[in-house]
Amino acid sequence: MRTTTDDINVWLTGYYDDFQSCKSIADDLNAANATSTDHTITHHGNPMNGEAFNNPTFRYSFADRAQYTSYLVGSDFFSSAQLFTTTSSSLKNEGHHQWLTLDLIRNNKYDWEGRAQLQYPDSRRGTRQRFSGAAGDSYEAFVNAHDTRGVYYAPLSTIDATAGRSRVYASNAADNDGDMYEGAGSHIRVDVEGQYGTKSISLAGVLMGEQMNTSSSSRGTSTKNLYPLKSPAGKPFLVSKLFGNSTGRHRILNYDGPMQFVGLGDTFNMRIACHAMGGWADARYTLNLGYKKADGFNKSNQTFGSNPLLSIDISTSHLNYNSGNYLEIDNYTASDNNDQWTDIDVVLDFSANTYKAYADGTLVSNGAFSNNWSAGDIYGWSLDVNCAGAMSKNVGMITCIDRAALYIPVGDAIQDTNYTPINTLTINKQINALSSAQLVISDDDNRYGLTSLISSEGFTEWDMLIFRDNLDRPIFWGTISSMAHTQNPKQQTLETLFVADEKYALLDRQIPVWETGQSAFLSREGHLSLNTQIEKNYNLVKNMEDILNTGTKKLTFNNSTIGFEDSDFTTLDNQRTSLGSSHPIQMYINEDVNGPNNAEKEWDGYDSPKYMLADARFIFIPSTSFTYFAIDSNAHLVGSSGVSASDTIMTTFGNTLGAKTFTVSSITSMSRSGDAPDETPSSYKLLKVANTANLGIPHSNSRLCTQYQLLYTEKVHTS
């Protein structure tokens, strides 16, 4: 790791990422104007638990949405009865606006864990996965949290992390000799079909590991241990793990994003540590810098459209991995932690089209650019693990990246550590206000040529990082907001002032935009022809627009009632007293004669699997041998899952006669006639019952309106 003797160091950076805030992309590549949603181009989710938290549209993982019937091999085959139903597996919301607010399809949707949560990168729930080895894309995509224009792509394996959800050998599985089986703890499918080359990416605060003892008598002990490796900056770092089964280059990371090259002493920095396991021969890294912007990046094959401006082979002999301080605990002490890290610095000279590469300040490589592209033509970088020699069967390489940056050093430059042009430095930190910093540098011989930065194409929203005592973690990080040059003819001095504001100052000039088309914000009535595509376009944009009303919400059109008028006991969310209702009267004003609801009617029998309540709208007694009860046609009691002929029902009449039991003879659907009582609904059903002698009430009038308040049965379904 490169060190410095200066108390203060300043970097001007066009690109800087320390990875502690990077987040996986919530991925949905469906066009907003698409009339149907293709789940295959949305986030594939987690094949281990079946959830897809990073999918803003679908709830479940790709494996469950695709409904594979051949999840596993051999005896691990899943029957169709063990799969989701098609309706359940394709469960999706109405748009990204629900995922960002309250998404009713999620588990624990009303709790914190059920809300949209940005996730750290983790290849076990990769953006795209080749589940069970199927054809398709395979990568984990995550963003630079300090500049979300930049996206990292980590190529993944030819099979998902669960090997098609195959079973796992027991961790103590033994072979015929009684020693630990070499496949113990691994997926059976890997053992059946052969070794797979695997790649993974994740964050770690501490890197640890061990090599197990294969002897059955010493199975509980390890033969080697990796000493806990930490970042010198005391933060999480990016960890790539490669299990190789073939020689050649293995791409482990791509950065498809702006670096803002300016061509004024640009220096690329990467702080890296590594550890190899197995038979790596002639192992090295290949760092590729500067791809042609116009040629872009292909996510499917994980390649850029052009060759890089320069490719640098970094042998492990240039890294502290081979300096005698291996990560094995036998050779490692806590004081060696920082020595395990190596700072790779590549200084680019766009005037001469050459570069120089340094490892911890020592020159290790130099050469010419592969093209004469200008600084404004290029972007991005990538990193490969390269095995040029022979490779044994079981080989692994762990790569740790603490940070990556493109910077111009002010002070302790990699090529000249004695030139320190810092004149004054002031940092203002305030309470309830944004911090700022002012840097004045003296550059009398115009060595830095910072005047050119103003007109440089890449110099947009560059940052200023200030380090103290080391180059590990900045004590101030802000965006350069202004520059000023002052030239004194008498003193023959040239001073340049840089002013940087805290990163939050960027919010003052950010506008949230969600663009889906030229006519997206036209009202639906404003279109001459309203088709499904336009309607969906309008609804998605309008819903996203509504949730951007920070602190407020759009009022909803609700009913004039206050709910609790259904006999199935469901709470209505469209009552006028609901939160956010636009009804002019949003409170109960005692407008009902008997109060807002009847406790016995609404709640007696609640949550019971045997019975529930309904109103008898009127009673018709044409003779003493049978009686008709008129029931609302939409009452659950007489629906397809409710009462039928020959069922037993019970009635109550006030508090005097008690419950009476009858047998239903028939059920007839009716429409209201002109002479029907006022209580009769427009459509209703007549339940004919026998044994009227048990009725026990006077019936001088053949229509007894609503004297029987309640009617319930033992055979009605409550679901």
Quick check: helix, strand or coil at residue 345?
strand
Amino acid at 76: D
419 and 494 assigned to the same domain: yes
486 and 613 both lie in a single domain:
no
Same domain, 401 and 413: no
Q: Does residue 526 register a pLDDT over 70?
A: no
More confident residue, 449 or 263: 263
Q: Is 187 helix (H, G, I), strand (E, B) or coil?
A: strand
Is 129 in the same domain as 278?
yes
Which residues have a Cβ under 8 Å from the Cβ of 659 and sit 6 or more positions away?
650, 651, 652
CA distance 316 to 103: 49
Q: Return the pLDDT at 578.
A: 81
The rounded distance, in Å, linking the Cα atoms of 455 and 646 is 91
Name the token pair of 623.
Answer: 């003779």
Query: Do the Cβ atoms of 420 and 10 come closer than 8 Å?
Result: no
Pseudo-torsion of CA 39, 45, 51, 55, nearest 10°? -60
Q: What is the mean pLDDT of residues 289-316?
A: 93
Do both 153 and 249 map to the same domain?
Answer: yes
All residues at 6 or more sequence positions from 233 whose CB lies less than 8 Å from its CB, including other chains: 18, 402, 403, 472, 473
pLDDT tens readout for residues 451-493: 667 666 667 789 999 999 899 999 999 999 888 888 878 877 8
Phi–psi pair at 100, nearest 5 degrees: -80, -15
Q: Is residue 407 within 8 Å of 307, Cβ to Cβ?
A: no
211 — phi, psi (to 5°)?
-110, 120
Whether 603 and 615 have beta carbons less than 8 Å apart is answered as no
Structure confidence by residue, pLDDT tens digits, 53-83: 999 999 999 988 887 544 443 345 455 555 6
SS3 80: helix
User: 100 lies in a domain?
Assistant: no
Asked whether residue 164 falls in the same domain as residue 267, the answer is yes
Output the pLDDT for position 597. Answer: 62
Residue 552 covered by a domain: no
Indicate the SS3 state at residue 20: coil
Q: Minimal CA–CA distance to 83: which of 111, 107, 61?
A: 61
Residue 592 lies in a domain: no
Query: Which position has the token pair 């115009």?
Result: 446
DSSP three-state, residue 325? coil
Q: What is the mean pLDDT of the chain?
A: 77
> What pLDDT sits at residue 172?
75
Do residues 383 and 466 share a domain? no
Give the pLDDT of residue 323.
45
In this predicted structure, the answer to whether residue 220 has a pLDDT above a threshold of 70 is: no
Q: Are 245 and 197 contacting, i.e. CB atoms less than 8 angstroms apart?
A: yes
Say how far apart CA 50 and CA 41 lie, in whole Å: 17
Confirm if 369 and 353 have CB atoms less than 8 A apart.
Answer: yes
Token couple for 685: 């059903």
Residue 322 above 70 pLDDT?
A: no
pLDDT of residue 624: 59
Q: Within this chain, do residues 162 and 237 fall inside the same structural domain, yes or no?
A: yes
Name the 3-class secondary structure at 198.
strand
Note whether residue 327 is domain-resident.
yes
> Does residue 683 or residue 424 have the better pLDDT?
424
Are 672 and 681 a contacting pair, CB within 8 Å?
yes
* Dist. CA 561–CA 588, nearest whole Å: 9
Q: Determine the pLDDT at residue 715.
A: 37
- The three-state secondary structure class of 271 is strand
Unique residue bearing structure tokens 């180059």: 471
Q: State the pLDDT at residue 650.
A: 61
Number of domains, the chain? 3
**Which of 384, 405, 426 is a domain's end point?**
405
Name which of 659, 670, 601 is nearest 629 in CA terms.
670
Tokens standing for residue 369 = 């650019």
What is d(CA 680, CA 616) in angstroms, rounded to the nearest whole number? Answer: 10
Residue % of the chain over a pLDDT of 90: 29
- Could you tell me if 329 and 272 lie in one domain? yes
Q: How is residue 462 written in tokens? A: 């560059």
Q: pLDDT for 486-516, tens place per residue?
A: 887 887 788 888 999 998 888 777 665 544 4
- In 3D space, the residue among 45, 65, 59, 128 whose CA is nearest the CA of residue 99 turns out to be 59
CB-CB contact of 51 with 61 (8 Å)? yes
Tokens of 395: 């080989």
For residue 359 the two structure tokens come to: 């490892």
pLDDT in tens, 398-428: 899 999 999 998 877 887 766 668 889 999 9
Q: What is the pLDDT of residue 345?
A: 95
Band of the pLDDT at 688, cuts 50, 70, 90? confident
Contact (CB, 8 A) for 492 and 444: yes
Does some domain include residue 33?
Answer: no
Is 113 part of a structural domain of the chain? Answer: no
Q: What is the DSSP letter of 640?
A: T
Strand partners, 51: 60
Greater pLDDT, 161 or 492: 161
Q: Between vectors from CA 381 to CA 380 and to CA 383, what angle results, nearest 5°?
A: 160
140/163 Cα distance (integer angstroms)? 17
Categorize the per-residue pLDDT at 439 as very low, low, confident or very high, splitting at 50, 70 and 90: very high
Question: DSSP letter at 376?
Answer: G
3-state secondary structure 474-524: CCEEEEEEEEEEEEECCCCEEEEEEEEEEHHHHHHHCCCCCCCCCCCCCCH
- Is residue 254 included in any domain, yes or no? yes
DSSP reduced 3-state for 108: coil
Model confidence pLDDT, tens digit, residues 109-155: 889 888 888 899 999 999 999 988 888 999 999 998 888 889 999 99
Phi, psi of 461 (to 5 degrees): 55, 50
CA-based nearest residue to 643, from 714, 545, 541: 714
pLDDT tens figures, 612-661: 455 565 666 666 567 777 666 555 444 334 566 666 666 655 444 455 66
Is residue 173 scored above 60 in pLDDT?
yes
* pLDDT of amino acid 709: 34
Report the number of secondary-structure helices (H) and strands (E) in the chain.
7, 32
Cα-based torsion angle of the residue sequence 489, 491, 494, 498 in order, rounded to the nearest 10 degrees: -120
Assign residue 644 the CATH number of its domain. 2.40.30
CB 250 within 8 A of CB 201: no
The whole-number pLDDT of residue 216 equals 59
Same domain, 177 and 237: yes
Q: Are residues 360 and 421 in the same domain?
A: no
Q: Is residue 337 part of a domain?
A: yes
Domain shared by 445 and 358, yes or no: no
Q: Using alpha carbons only, what angle is made at residue 688 by residues 641 and 594, rounded to the nearest 5 degrees? A: 75
Q: Cβ atoms within 10 A of the Cβ of 718, count? A: 15
State the SS3 of 394-419: CEEEEEEEEEEEEEEEECCCCCCCCC
pLDDT at residue 663, as a whole number: 74
Structural domain ending residue among the three candidates 459, 492, 509: 509
Q: Which residue has the higher pLDDT, 517 or 320?
A: 320
How many CB atoms within 10 Å of residue 323? Answer: 15
Asked if residue 449 lies in contact with residue 432, where contact means CB atoms within 8 angstroms, the answer is no
Q: Which of 405, 428, 462 is the last residue of a domain?
A: 405
Cβ-count burial 427-464 (b if 16+ within 10 Å, e if not): eeeeeeeebbbebbbebeeeebebeebeebebbeebbb
- Pairwise CA distance, residues 625 & 474, whole Å: 94
Instruction: Identify which of 101-115, 204-218, 507-521 has the greatest average pLDDT.
Output: 101-115
Domain of 177, in residue numbers = 17-24+120-405
- pLDDT of 27-46, one tens digit each? 999 877 777 888 999 999 99
